[in-house]
Amino acid sequence: MVKKLKIGVLASGNGSNLQAIIDRILRGDLPAEVVCVITNRSDAFALERANNHGITAFYLNHRDFSGRAAYDAALVAALKGEGVELVVLAGFMRIITRVFLDAFPQAVMNIHPALLPSFPGLHAQQQALDYGAKVTGCTVHFVDEGTDTGPIIAQAAIPILPDDTVETLSQRIHLQEHLLYPEAVKLYAEGRLRVEGRRVVVSGIHTSPQSSLLNPSA
pLDDT exceeding 90 applies to what percent of the chain? 92
DSSP state of 120: -
Give percent helix, percent strand, percent coil of the chain, each to the nearest 5: 35, 25, 40
Domains along the sequence of the chain with CATH: 1-105 (3.40.50.170), 111-218 (3.40.50.170)
Cis status of the peptide bond prior to 151, with omega within 30 of 0: no
Q: Is 123 considered catalytic here?
A: no
- pLDDT level of residue 204 (50, 70, 90 thresholds): confident
List the end-to-end C-alpha distance of the chain, in Å, as a whole number.
33
Of 38, 139, 33, 50, the residue nearest 86 (C-alpha)? 33
Going from the C-alpha of 36 to that of each of 16, 18, 53, 129, the distances in angstroms are 15, 11, 11, 36
- Which pLDDT tens digit goes with each residue over 69-110? 999 999 999 999 999 999 999 999 999 999 999 999 999 999
Its pTM stands at 0.92
Catalytic one of 62, 112, 123, 174: 112
